[in-house]
């Protein structure tokens, strides 16, 4: 099952061993590795955030296009493409970071299934090793809650083009998915995988909080047409 990511598993094992030599604790080594990975993904997450902001800024124009050309699909597609070019919207850009993390998560899973039983940490005193699931399920719960908290922080003020009830319902669905997916993945996974997800979600939460500050908002809005760029 893990044949395709075996080179990545070997590389992660090498990095973790190096970090362990420095920290003398596998949990701390994993946290350092997680933060290193998240730092490498900052640029991809920034691009994804910019796409959210640009898509939100373009919504009034896109709504007018749907009203004007809703009955003519060819014209709607043509004008929508023009608006996307105007705002610099690339529909697939937000998925780059997720696609990069998928093989990494699989490699982490394989690594700790095979080697985790010999890895211990002072960070999880109720566990004998990182290769088995958290019996108290504290890490899966933390991963789910932090993931939901990070994902629900808005990066853009989306214009209200529909009912408040619809917007609230959408956020509830999103929050539920962001909570339940980490829970499902990490509930019976090796504790190291849950620790990796929890630490990554904590980093993502801090990242998104930064993007709500004035410097962060300037970064997100860089490249937007001047007419729709907010004054920050």
Number of domains within the chain: 1
Residues 6+ apart with CB under 8 A from 44: 96, 97, 100
pLDDT at 161: 47
Burial of 80: CB neighbours in 10 Å, binned 0-12, 13-18, 19+? middle
What was the pLDDT predicted at 7? 86
pLDDT tens track for 62-99: 888 888 877 778 888 888 888 888 888 887 766 777 77
User: pLDDT tens across 173-213, in order?
Assistant: 877 888 899 999 999 999 999 999 999 999 999 999 999 89
**Residues 28-39, mean pLDDT to the nearest whole number:** 92
pLDDT of residue 231: 47
Q: Is 100's pLDDT higher than 90?
A: no
Q: Do residues 147 and 182 lie in contact, with contact meaning Cβ atoms separated by under 8 Å? A: yes
118 vs 206: which has the higher pLDDT: 206
- For range 12-23, the mean pLDDT: 92
User: Which residues span the domain enclosing 118?
Assistant: 3-228
SS3 content of the chain, % helix, strand, coil (to 5): 75, 0, 25
- Residues 136-161: what's their mean pLDDT? 83
pLDDT attached to residue 88? 83
Residues 140 and 184 sit within 8 Å (Cβ to Cβ):
no
């Amino acid at each position: 099952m893990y044949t395709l990511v075996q080179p990545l598993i070997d590389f992660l094992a090498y990095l973790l061993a190096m970090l362990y030599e420095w920290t003398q604790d596998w949990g701390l080594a994993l946290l350092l590795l997680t933060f290193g990975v998240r730092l490498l993904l900052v640029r991809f997450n920034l691009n994804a955030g910019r796409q959210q902001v640009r898509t939100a800024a373009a919504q009034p124009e896109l709504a007018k296009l749907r009203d004007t050309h809703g009955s003519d699909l060819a014209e709607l597609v043509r004008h929508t493409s023009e608006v996307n070019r105007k705002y610099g919207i690339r529909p697939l850009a937000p998925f780059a970071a997720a696609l990069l993390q998928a093989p990494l998560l699989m490699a982490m899973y394989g690594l700790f299934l095979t080697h985790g039983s010999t890895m211990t940490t002072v960070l999880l005193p109720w566990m004998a090793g990182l290769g088995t699931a958290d019996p108290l399920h504290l890490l899966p719960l933390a991963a789910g809650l932090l993931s939901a908290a990070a994902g629900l922080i808005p990066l853009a003020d989306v214009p209200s083009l529909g009912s408040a009830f619809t917007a609230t319902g959408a956020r509830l669905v999103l929050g539920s998915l962001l909570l339940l997916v980490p829970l499902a993945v990490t509930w019976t996974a090796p504790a190291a995988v849950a620790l990796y997800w929890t630490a990554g979600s904590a980093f993502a939460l801090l990242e998104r909080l930064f993007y709500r500050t004035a410097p962060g908002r300037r970064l997100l809005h860089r490249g937007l047409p001047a007419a729709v760029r907010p004054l920050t």
